[in-house]
């Protein structure tokens, strides 16, 4: 009695063992992935579909209900509302100001800190510290330091005879101030990526070039810089996308002001959606942001493919 | 003057470099020092002198912080949310990452591609529908969104791919041996694969914890009552009735929020920096 079923099972396994094993493995795989996949569908795919739909509807506090309006929200942003292009301009200025400064400083620091010397760990720790600090804390302290006359920065400037501006109250200076303080906060991240890339370059290259009589600049220009190419590309795209997404820093330091001088895209979306409750319009803005980030990503993939 | 030897020249260059680096480091270090010193100053002195050493040490600030708003509660909120998010992320992402790395099933490549697409989409794009989703679920002014969105959002997906990458590089033999010894798939993952992946788990844990601890947009949107605030919201909330910041309290509270993180960072800086390097390259 006991032996018979066992033989039957064995026979079935011999008949098609690959099927059951394979099916079992697939079932286990789906089970393992299911929490991630369910969350992904609920909190990402669903909302992504919804935001497209929202963006095609007029929906705000006044209307109280949504009415299908086609592309009117997009037309509103692109052609009617003067704020939109102002905001895009601010975001572009922010990116153009931030990305090169961030990358140049990151590379310079990485070059200085990729060699061994007493204090190298100390300096790496220092330059990276703002990255682990909350943006809120960072913004609070800098907002304090950058106040008009009583601010520390201006007191220091006065000490050497410079009459500093009221940094966060004048549009152009405010933009410069948020860019620079953001660079100081985030540059450590790119610095360590550059350090890793620099340390991956074999030392023989430099030694060989030195033997041939190459100068430091020539070594950098013709050996180091080309080898850093892929890293530079990734850093550039990630930093650019990050700069388009900047929100907390702006919210806390300037609230988009003065005179909307630092009103950038992510902050504008937040404002329209959660302060003015213009859900339809804000969703259209979100879609436009999505397209911008998508284009940047595709450009990166294209460049990377061409590179290799 | 005798000419310098090669060695002396090197030392001098090194000193020049160090001085240059120290100068560049000022705006990186000074805000921290100023924050802590400002936390010890009186409301008047804070505007008076640019000195880093307070004339009078106002320990009272650090007590007032807790009476001005439920700061202890807010501190605890941040802590328990960050711990929960980290634990859940570790569990969920390493499970999925393991399946994507090791198990063969129809559509695995497609699922991977599907998930990775989430990394390209900024969370500002999905936050509006997520707000209505949370409203529908009755999660407004609760901590649920602050837990669910990071675990299942782009951060969680990123963690999944980090884990997947690490699992793929592990030798398969031990897991096969485990299977021979009769471990279930779950057992192989839990008893063999996970213990071998400590570096990746540590990296995910560090980055997830910090992300949650510093999260700002989600608390701002979803949480409105003081006792439910997390630290980033609480810090920006030390204001007088006219909305002007009470700087001495704000800086004292900020110090309380930042200094513990900084201490951990100083102790484990190598590990923490490496974690960011790992995720940065992949991301």
How many whole angstroms separate alpha carbon B189 and alpha carbon B191?
6
Q: A67-68 and A57-58: which strand pairing? A: antiparallel
**What's the confidence (pLDDT) of residue A270?**
94
Phi-psi region of A18 (alpha: psi -120 to 50; beta: other; left: phi over 0): alpha
CA atoms within 13 A on the CB side of B3: 2
**What's the confidence (pLDDT) of residue A307?**
61
Ordered by where they begin, the domains of chain A are 3-55 (no CATH), 80-307 (1.10.3720.10)
**How many residues can be counted in chain B?**
283
**Nearest residue on chain A to B52, alpha-carbon basis:** A152
How many whole angstroms separate alpha carbon A287 and alpha carbon B121?
10
H helices present in chain B, as ranges: 6-39, 45-48, 60-68, 71-102, 108-116, 123-137, 144-152, 154-169, 173-180, 185-188, 194-196, 198-213, 217-222, 231-235, 247-267, 269-282
- State mean pLDDT over A2-26: 55
Interface test with B, best of A41, A54, A134 (most B CBs within 10 A): A134
Closest C-alpha to B263, from B32, B95, B4: B32
Predicted ipTM of the assembly: 0.90
Closest C-alpha to B144, from A39, A251, A32: A39
* Chain B residue numbers touching A46 (CB-CB < 8 A): 129, 133
Compute CA B57 distance to the chain's CA centroid, rounded to the nearest angstrom: 31
Closest C-alpha to B139, from A43, A232, A200: A43
Who wins on pLDDT, B191 or B245? B191
Who wins on pLDDT, A150 or A247? A247
Closest C-alpha to B146, from B52, B80, B58, B241: B80
Average pLDDT of chain A? 86
How many whole angstroms separate alpha carbon A54 and alpha carbon A282?
9
Please judge whether A32 and B283 are an interchain contact, meaning their C-beta atoms are less than 8 angstroms apart.
no
Cα–Cα distances (Å) from B221 to A162, A216, B132, B145, in that order, read 41, 52, 11, 10
**Nearest residue on chain B to A233, alpha-carbon basis:** B281
The whole-model pTM stands at 0.90
Contact A72, A297 (CB under 8 A): no
Contact A235, A190 (CB under 8 A): yes
Closest C-alpha to B45, from B251, B248, B254, B255: B248
Contact B258, A137 (CB under 8 A): yes
Ordered by where they begin, the domains of chain B are 6-58 (no CATH), 69-282 (1.10.3720.10)
Phi, psi torsion values for A58, nearest 5 degrees: -85, 120
Is 90 exceeded by the pLDDT of residue B73? yes
Closest C-alpha to A84, from A231, A286, A293, A297: A286
Chain A: nearest CA to B127, how far in angstroms?
Answer: 8
Please judge whether B111 and A282 are an interchain contact, meaning their C-beta atoms are less than 8 angstroms apart.
no
Q: What digits encode the pLDDT tens for the residues B34-54?
A: 999 988 988 878 776 777 888
Tell me the torsion sign for CA atoms B243, B246, B247, B251.
negative
**Nearest residue on chain A to B48, alpha-carbon basis:** A150
Q: What digits encode the pLDDT tens for the residues B222-254?
A: 999 999 999 999 998 888 878 788 888 999 999
Interface size between A and B, measured as CB pairs under 8 A: 252
- State mean pLDDT over B106-112: 88
Is 80 exceeded by the pLDDT of residue B163? yes
How far from each other are the two terminal CA atoms of chain A, in whole angstroms?
67
3-state secondary structure A235-258: HHHHHHHHHHCCCHHHHHHCCCCC
Interface test with B, best of A103, A111, A136 (most B CBs within 10 A): A136
A68 - beta bridge partners?
A: A57
How many whole angstroms separate alpha carbon B78 and alpha carbon B258?
12
**What's the confidence (pLDDT) of residue A15?**
44
Q: Which pair of structure tokens corresponds to residue B112?
A: 């991977």
Residue B70's pLDDT band (cuts 50, 70, 90):
very high
Is 60 exceeded by the pLDDT of residue A239? yes
The burial of B250, by beta-carbon neighbours within 10 Å (0-12 exposed, 13-18 middle, 19 or more buried), is given as: buried
How many whole angstroms separate alpha carbon A128 and alpha carbon B272?
10
């Amino acid at each position: 009695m006991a032996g018979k079923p066992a033989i039957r099972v064995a026979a079935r396994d011999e008949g098609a063992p690959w099927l059951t094993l394979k099916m079992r493995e697939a079932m286990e795989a789906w089970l393992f992935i299911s929490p991630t996949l369910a969350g992904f569908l609920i909190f990402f795919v669903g909302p992504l579909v919804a935001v497209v739909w929202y963006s095609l509807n007029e929906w705000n506090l006044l209307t109280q209900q949504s009415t299908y309006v086609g592309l009117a929200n997009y037309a509103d942003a692109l052609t009617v509302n003067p704020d939109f292009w102002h905001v895009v301009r601010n975001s572009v200025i922010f990116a153009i100001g931030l990305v090169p400064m961030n990358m140049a400083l990151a590379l310079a620091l990485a070059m200085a800190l990729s060699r061994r010397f007493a204090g190298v760990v100390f300096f790496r720790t220092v330059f990276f510290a703002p990255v682990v600090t909350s943006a809120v804390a960072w913004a609070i302290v800098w907002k304090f330091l950058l106040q008009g006359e009583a601010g520390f920065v201006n007191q220091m400037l006065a000490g050497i005879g410079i009459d500093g501006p009221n940094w966060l109250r004048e549009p152009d200076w405010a933009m410069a101030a948020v860019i620079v303080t953001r660079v100081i906060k985030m540059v450590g991240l790119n610095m360590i990526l550059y350090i890793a890339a620099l340390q991956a370059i074999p030392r023989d290259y430099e030694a060989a070039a030195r033997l041939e009589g190459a100068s430091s600049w020539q070594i950098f220009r013709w050996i180091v810089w080309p080898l850093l190419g892929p890293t530079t590309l990734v850093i550039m795209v990630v930093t650019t996308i990050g700069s388009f997404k900047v929100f907390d820093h702006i919210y806390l330091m300037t609230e988009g002001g003065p005179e909307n001088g630092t009103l950038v895209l992510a902050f504008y979306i937040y404002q329209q959606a959660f302060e003015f409750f213009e859900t339809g319009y804000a969703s259209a803005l979100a879609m436009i942001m999505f397209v911008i980030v998508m284009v940047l990503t595709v450009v990166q993939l294209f460049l990377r493919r061409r590179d290799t | 003057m005798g000419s310098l030897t090669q060695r002396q020249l090197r030392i001098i260059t090194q000193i020049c470099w160090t001085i240059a680096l120290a100068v560049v480091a000022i705006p990186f270090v000074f805000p921290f020092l100023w924050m802590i010193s400002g936390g010890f100053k009186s409301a008047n002195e804070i505007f008076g002198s640019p000195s880093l050493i307070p004339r009078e040490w106002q320990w009272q600030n650090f007590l007032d912080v807790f009476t001005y708003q439920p700061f202890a509660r807010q501190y605890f909120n941040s802590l328990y949310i960050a711990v929960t998010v980290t634990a859940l992320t570790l569990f969920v992402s390493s499970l999925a990452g393991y399946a994507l790395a090791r198990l063969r099933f129809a559509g695995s490549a497609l699922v991977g591609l599907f998930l990775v697409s989430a990394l390209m989409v900024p969370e500002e794009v999905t936050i509006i529908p997520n707000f209505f989703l949370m409203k529908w679920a009755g999660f407004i002014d609760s901590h649920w969104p602050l837990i669910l969105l990071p675990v299942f959002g782009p951060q969680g997906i990123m963690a999944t791919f980090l884990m997947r990458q690490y699992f793929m590089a592990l030798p398969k033999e031990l897991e096969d041996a485990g299977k021979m010894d009769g471990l279930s798939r779950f057992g192989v993952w839990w008893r063999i694969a996970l213990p071998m992946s400590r570096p990746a788990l540590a990296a995910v844990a560090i980055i997830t914890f910090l992300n949650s601890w510093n999260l700002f947009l989600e608390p701002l949107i979803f949480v409105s009552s003081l006792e439910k605030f997390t630290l980033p919201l609480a810090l920006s909330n030390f204001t007088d009735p006219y909305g002007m910041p009470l700087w001495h309290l704000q800086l004292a509270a900020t110090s309380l929020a930042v200094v513990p993180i900084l201490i951990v960072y100083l102790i484990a800086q190598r590990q923490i920096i490496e974690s960011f390097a790992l995720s940065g390259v992949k991301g």
